[in-house]
């Protein structure tokens, strides 16, 4: 069987078990309501779920903009300027290790329990990996490429846009993937902790009244967002697939053709 077929078989298997196990009474319905029950909740209550999805998605979008835009910008500066790198990179790397979730109550104290707090929290949450990844990408650009561009009379601006940025794209994409995932987690977790709207909020409020089908309908929607993001990333990565992975400093490797999959 091809990996693709195996993958789909596993997914189908999980879906079937999700339906069969609770119906057969092997798993209490309170712990896991059957798939069809969950789906029917999502369909019959599409109004409230749709609204929640819109809230969560819009906040993910805005936070993504801040996290990724800021992350790439700061990362490019920190990675590109030696002095900044020496001073700031260790600080940022340590900050990255701090579990930011503990700070969310502080965010709500500052921004209230509306969307601002969620956006701020998720932005910060996604900012660090994108920033660190971009900084690393820019730092490892083959200096020979810069020298070559210079020998052709490239101005500093041309070097930035025609060499540094294109060369950094694969690492930036990797950072974007990680940062985007964290932004989604950040928004949903924030909604689950303290908030007044969104899918995370729906999940938590349904859980407190032990309404399992509603909880799982929310979980399904979060899954949907994650899958959507993954697909979007794949599309983006595909556009760079022709050359990504090359262009970094790989000592002595410039004449070795990378083993292409």
Partner 1 sequence: MSQTLAPDAAAAAADAAPIVSVTGLGHVYPSREGPVHALADISLEVGQGKFVVIVGPSGCGKSSLLMMLAGLRHQSEGAILCDGRPMSDPDPDRVGVVFQEANLFPWLTAIENVAFPLALRKVPRAERQARAAAMLELVGLADARGRYPHELSGGMKQRVSIARGLVQNPKVLLMDEPFAALDEQTRMAMGEELLRIWSETGKTVVFVTHSLTEAVYLADEVLVMSARPGRIIDRVAVPLPRPRTYAMMASPVFGALRERIWQQIRASAR
Residues that bind partner 1 (CB under 8 A): 142, 144-145, 147-154, 158, 162-163, 166-167, 169, 240, 242-243, 246-247, 254-255, 257-258, 260
Shorter beta-carbon distance to partner 1: residue 99 or 260: 260
Nearest-angstrom CA–CA distance, 147 and 130: 27
Nearest Cα neighbor of 22 from 7, 11, 38, 10 is 38
CB 242, min distance to partner 1, A: 6
172 close to 135: Cβ distance less than 8 angstroms = no
Nearer to partner 1 by Cβ, of 5 and 260: the residue is 260
**Minimum CB distance to partner 1 smaller for 25 or for 252:** 252
CB of 185 to partner 1, least distance (A): 31
Min dist CB 182 to partner 1, Å, is: 27
For tokens 């790439």, what's the residue?
A: 72
CB of 236 to partner 1, least distance (A): 14
For 108, the 3-state DSSP assignment is helix
Reported for 95-99, long-range contacts at CB under 8 A and 24+ positions apart, including other chains, are 95/128, 96/128, 96/129, 96/132
DSSP 77-90: HHHH-HHHHHHHHH
Q: Say how far apart CA 254 and CA 242 lie, in whole Å.
A: 17
CB of 140 to partner 1, least distance (A): 13
Closest to partner 1 by CB, 3 vs 153, is 153
Q: Output 19 or 142, the one with its CB closest to partner 1.
A: 142
Shortest Å distance, C-beta 246 to partner 1 = 4
Q: Which is nearer to partner 1, 158 or 196 (CB)?
A: 158
Residues contacting 44, CB < 8 A, separation 6+? none
Please give the angle made by the CA atoms of 107, 109 and 113, to the nearest 5 degrees: 80
Burial of 261 (C-beta count, 10 Å sphere; 0-12/13-18/19+)? exposed
CB-CB neighbours of 58 under 10 Å: 14
Of residues 129 and 247, the one with the C-beta less far from partner 1:
247
Shortest Cβ 245–partner 1 spacing (Å): 8
Q: Pick from 73, 191, 67: which is nearest to 125 by CA?
A: 67
């Amino acid at each position: 069987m091809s990996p693709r077929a195996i993958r789909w078989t596993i997914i189908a298997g999980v879906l079937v078990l999700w339906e069969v196990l609770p119906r057969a009474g092997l798993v209490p319905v309170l712990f896991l309501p059957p798939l069809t029950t969950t789906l029917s909740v999502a369909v019959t209550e599409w109004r409230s779920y749709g609204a929640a999805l819109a809230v969560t998605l819009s906040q993910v979008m805005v936070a993504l903009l801040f996290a990724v835009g800021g992350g790439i910008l700061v990362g490019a500066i920190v990675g590109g300027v030696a002095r900044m790198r020496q001073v700031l990179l260790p600080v940022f790397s340590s900050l990255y290790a701090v579990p930011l979730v503990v700070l969310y109550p502080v965010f709500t104290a500052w921004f209230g329990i509306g969307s601002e707090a969620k956006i701020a929290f998720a932005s910060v949450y996604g900012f660090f990996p994108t920033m660190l990844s971009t900084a690393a990408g820019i730092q490892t650009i083959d200096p020979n490429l810069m020298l070559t561009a210079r020998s052709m009379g490239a101005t500093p601006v041309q070097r930035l846009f025609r060499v540094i940025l294109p060369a950094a794209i694969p690492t930036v994409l990797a950072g974007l993937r990680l940062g985007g995932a964290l932004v989604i987690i950040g928004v949903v977790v924030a909604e689950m902790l303290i908030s007044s709207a969104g899918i995370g909020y729906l999940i938590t409020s349904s859980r407190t009244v032990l309404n399992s089908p509603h909880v799982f309908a929310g979980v399904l929607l979060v899954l949907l967002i994650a899958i959507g993001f993954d697909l979007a990333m794949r599309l983006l990565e595909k556009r760079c697939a022709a050359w990504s992975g090359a262009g970094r400093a790989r000592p002595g490797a410039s004449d070795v053709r990378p083993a292409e999959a």
